[in-house]
Structure 1
Amino acid sequence: MSRWIILDRDGTLIREKGYLHDPNEVELIAGVTEGLRLLAAAEYRFAVVTNQSGIGRGYYSEGDMRAVHARIDEILAVDGIKIDGWYHCPHLPEEGCGCRKPKRGLVETAAAELGFSLTDIAAVIGDKECDLMLAKAVGAPSALVMSGYGGVEYAKGVRGDLNCEDMSEAARRIIKKEENMLEKGEIYRRNMDDHLKTAVRMAALEETVCLAAKKITAALLAGGRLFLCGNGGSAADAQHIAAELSGRYLKERRALDAAALSCNSSALTALGNDYGYDEIFSRQIEAHGRCGDLLIAISTSGNSANVLKAVSVAKGKGIFTVGLTGESGGRLREAADLTVCAPSSFTPRIQEIHILIGHTICEMVERDFCG
């Protein structure tokens, strides 16, 4: 599907000369040819939308206007540039017609005749506020050029989505913006595809996740506490899961004793300073953990030293440990009593799967306390 540029005429393509009707007086504005050539090379197509109240005022005829347009076409054709359609409003401003800019009538007519939709418009380029208002009316980006009345409008505070010295700059910026959008679209599609493929592989985790939920329920029912730990994004996941359980996930029930070990900044900084970063979780387990509690240890690599130390201390106190890690499992696979390995080696996917697993466990545990 082609992308379209809606162009103003006077002050944007050709010099503003006050009700121009003589084709011999047509003069392209500097930068127009270069800009349109760049856009055409990038496969954009063009429609011109122009208010021509001079016709309604009797200053010139429709034929005179068409002769001016034919002259512009002739000049642009030398550089291989084609305007696909010319659309004009001949009415006076006070007539209240539906085609005079900034109303969208002319653009709708162009779209119907040239076979594009309003979503195919990459930009509306003009030198007046009415051109920018037209862009808004059709839901397209606007570009204000400083030719014609553009400089005066800009000085009055009028702003487009792009504000450019001339058509050449507008073309380069529109092309760059659209290329960035395409790149972002590709990033989006790639990430969604990768996420879905990873999620499909989670079917193999069902038994392990259900067992983890069962162990958590048993510990909480017996009066034990649930501790969670992790670094960075995993710390955020630990806090998230703890909050769902101590608060409410989906249903009303009693508060469950769940706490993330990354939340107490005073403890973290004191322990890190006095004992080293590897001790920030294990020292808290040593202080607060009791036999019968449960620890969820989260590490995307499975090799976070402070998480592994926490698991080691927890097991020494009779605390059951559940590891959440990535596909390889790292050292956490063997260190924890039960390990759930997200089926990916890519950290963002692992973290996405971890919070999905966390939500699933929250729902399972919550049901046990609502039944």
Structure 2
Amino acid sequence: MKKWIILDRDGTLIKEKDYLHDPDGAELTEGAAEGLRMLSKLGYRFVVLTNQSGIGRGYFTEDEMNAVHLRVDEMLACAGVRVEGWFHCPHKPSDGCSCRKPAAGLAVEAQRRLGFDAADIAFVMGDKESDVKLAEALGAPSVLLMTGYGASEYGRGVRGTLNCANIREAASVIARGEREGAGSAFCCNLEEHAAAVGAMRALADDIGESAAMIISALRGGGRFFVCGNGGSAADAQHIAAELSGRYLAEREPLDAAALSCNASALTAIGNDYGFDRIFARQLEAHGRAGDVLLAISTSGNSANVLEAVRSAKKLGIASIALTGSGGGALAKEADAALRVPSNHTPRIQEMHILIGHALCGIVEKALCR
């Protein structure tokens, strides 16, 4: 029965700290304890496979490493979680050993000593391409986590079978897959949604700063533009409508427009200039210095949304990126970025409209006293 989960150590189970060898420095990653406890209740068992080249480099000893593992075991025990075994590769990358991930040597040793087969492996979880490739070598599904190096790996194109913010989110997705029936699926969606909402508190200051940018633009006579594709296009129209119509208060209309509404403009510009230009061209026609643009993309890499942000910069229009946790190229090019701490598209989109409503409420309250 597929109930074994192979875990990476640094950046996955515990926070990434270069060549960690002091047990007092060990910290569980966000959501690790909760996620593993959830999976443990579902009958999953855990084994850790970790590359520890610091031993081969002479930075620390195996005894020091084992002290770190003991400390992590103690922290997990407080959450009711047990790791069945710790297996490490002490070699440097140049040694050419058969145990350094993504080679399968550690996994083979773990199977031999703990009494399971490759067919029993449910998932391999980690934050690096080497973990994804290990899963491929074992014929198992992979979970790429955005903790540790995961976000940068995802940004350069690495993909797991599942791509999740942390172990807690991965556990929610796995739990959902185990449940049958529409009612259970709905309840699982609610659990994932609640977990995503709980993580949103980290964005409070960024949302306040983004709202201030929109307030400043509208108060100065500028316009508020919103753009996005697919579900994000619907969100763009929704947010713009709340401001040009009303959100909660009876007031004068605010100058907000979605760039996804004019079918003639979209098809004409797409036909004549290419799909990447459908938002940028409209912004160049209607935008002026002092305006503000909210650019929505779950991946942060939608080419036409990126082009809109680049045109905004040339025009002196401030831009706010609304993305998933990775942020993509969009978060780097925009003046401000709101990154939902999730990589699960439905949860990101749900949080986007939550953020949209929050922005509308803050803007309306500030401008319509």
Aligned positions of 1:3-152 closer than 5 A = none
Equivalent positions of 1:1-371 (< 5 A) are 183-371=181-369
Task: Output the CA distance in 2 between the equivalents of 1:285 and 1:190.
Answer: 40
Residue pair 1:220, 1:257 contacting (<8 A) in 2 also: yes
Paired residue secondary structure (1:281): helix
What TM-score do you get using the length of structure 1 for normalisation?
A: 0.51
Residue type of the partner of 1:292?
Answer: G
Structure 2: stretches of 5+ with no match in the other structure: 1-178
Identity of aligned residues (%): 60
The AA in structure 1 aligned to 2:184 is E
Q: Deviations over 1:123-160 (max 9, x none)?
A: xxxxxxxxxxxxxxxxxxxxxxxxxxxxxxxxxxxxxx
Unmatched runs of 5 consecutive residues or more in structure 1: 1-180
SS across alignment from 1:331? helix
Secondary structure of 1:224's match?
Answer: coil
CA RMSD of the aligned region, Å? 1.0
Shift of 1:204: 0.5
Runs of 4+, deviation exceeding 4 Å: none
1:362 offset after TM fit, Å? 0.3
TM-score normalised by L of structure 2: 0.51
* C-alpha distance in 2 between matches for 1:251 and 1:203: 25
SS at match of 2:208: helix
In our comparison, the structure showing a higher alpha carbon Rg is: 1
**SS of the residue 1:339 aligns to:** strand
C-alpha contact (below 8 Å) 1:253/1:369 kept by paired residues: no
Determine the C-alpha separation between the residues in 2 that align with 1:359 and 1:246: 13
In structure 2, C-alpha distance between the alignment counterparts of 1:270 and 1:253, rounded to whole Å: 35
Quote the Cα distance in structure 2 between the aligned partners of 1:240 and 1:265: 17
Equivalent residue of 1:245, what SS? helix
Aligned residues: 191
What is the DSSP-based 3-state SS (H/G/I as helix, E as strand, rest coil) of the residue aligned with 2:328?
A: coil
Aligned to 1:91: none
> What letter corresponds to residue 310 of structure 2 in structure 1?
S
Q: Give the C-alpha shift of residue 253 in structure 1.
A: 1.1
Amino acid at match of 1:245: L
Q: What SS is found at the alignment partner of 1:297?
A: strand
**2:49 paired residue number:** none
**Shift of residue 306 of structure 1?**
0.1
What is the rounded CA distance, in whole Å, between the counterparts of 1:190 and 1:223 in structure 2? 45
> What is the match of residue 46 of structure 1?
none
**Whole-angstrom distance in 1 between the partners of 2:302 and 2:194:** 27
SS in 1 for 2:210: helix
